[in-house]
Structure 1
Amino acid sequence: MSTEIKLSQSTAIRLEQARGKGMSDAAILRAIQAKDVAAFDAVSEEDYKYDEFFSYADEHGENLEAAVQDGYRITFNTRGGLGIWVEKAFGLQPDRDFTVGEGIVTGLKLNPEQAEVLAKRLASNWVITDSKDVPEGQELTLKLRALV
């Protein structure tokens, strides 16, 4: 990837929500190319609708097509938003599969592929501060960069 694709936390959550609910990358790409909001109706949720998905991306210069094909990095993660993104991206539940605290995420167990995706997507205001091998793969601790 020659240039890193940047997405807002909100856009990244919606993209991972669509994937997590079974929408293939090919179907997501078709919807993006056609700017077809209705294609996301089946994966839409009360708090995460797609009404402004395309207009927001256009207004903020987010290349959705490249993000789906080549990957992306989130521009900024809030602690709550990071927890939601982890939930959508990996199908994990906060307080059951990991803990989100003030400036820290602990107990996050990911397989090696998931850990690699997290490292590539995580906004630069967060860092992976600890990684230990566990049967599932790795148990990670994430911290807000300002607290490291």
Structure 2
Amino acid sequence: MTETTETAERVRLSQWDAIVLESVRALGLTDEEILHRTADGTLPEPQDEAISSFEPLRVLQAEQPELFGQAVTAGYRIKYNTLGGINTWIRIVFGHTPEVERGEGIEGVSAELTPEERDRLASVLSIGWTIERQGTEDHSPGTASYRVVPVRS
């Protein structure tokens, strides 16, 4: 996938901060609510078993308020991805259960995604990862099977 200028200019978040932010977003809070409730410490309790606390967002907001605001309102790019982090991000953001393969030379994360979901995922992945379509047939209406893999030289 080709990187757009918009993606290149997004602020960068750690993978964990991105996952925690998406966990808050998954609760249905608007950008304004996320910004306000993070600043005043009134975020609800985490609902995902992978997230024990939203404290990383409070720390990020306190230490880098401009970066945090831009990440919430304009989007972000992840600094460095791992297989487990990509798996968790897809599960939290899209509600899908991806398949992770960790074997040497075949590592990747596979999931059924819509074109919009694929584009959103591509916009946040760190450098060094690419998304490949698997097969040609659609699996569910409007979806296809994709695999996130490390870029090979």
Superposed displacement of residue 56, structure 1: 4.2
User: 1:121–1:55: structure 2 CA closer, same or farther, 3 Å change rule?
Assistant: same
The sequence identity of aligned pairs, in percent, is: 29
Equivalent residue, structure 2, for 1:122: 125
Equivalent residue, structure 2, for 1:67: 71
**TM-score, normalisation: structure 1:** 0.79
Q: How many Å separate the matches in 2 of 1:46 and 1:87?
A: 12
**TM-score, normalisation: structure 2:** 0.76
> After the TM superposition, which segments of 4 or more aligned residues of structure 1 sit over 4 Å from their partners?
44-47, 56-62
| 8 Å Cα contact 2:21-2:57 kept in structure 1 | no
> SS of the counterpart of 1:41?
coil
User: 1:85–1:62: structure 2 CA closer, same or farther, 3 Å change rule?
Assistant: farther
Superposed displacement of residue 55, structure 1: 2.1
After superposing the two structures, state which structure 1 stretch, 83-92 or 128-137, moved more: 128-137
Equivalent residue, structure 1, for 2:45: 42
Equivalent residue, structure 2, for 1:52: 56
| 8 Å Cα contact 1:20-1:91 kept in structure 2 | no
- The gaps in structure 2 that reach 5 residues or longer are 1-5
- The gaps in structure 1 that reach 5 residues or longer are none
| 8 Å Cα contact 2:11-2:70 kept in structure 1 | yes
User: 1:61–1:78: structure 2 CA closer, same or farther, 3 Å change rule?
Assistant: farther
Q: How many pairs were matched up? A: 139
| 8 Å Cα contact 2:12-2:78 kept in structure 1 | yes
> SS of the counterpart of 2:89?
helix
Q: How does 1:1-12 map to 2 (within 5 A)?
A: 1=6, 3-12=9-18
Superposed displacement of residue 130, structure 1: 2.7
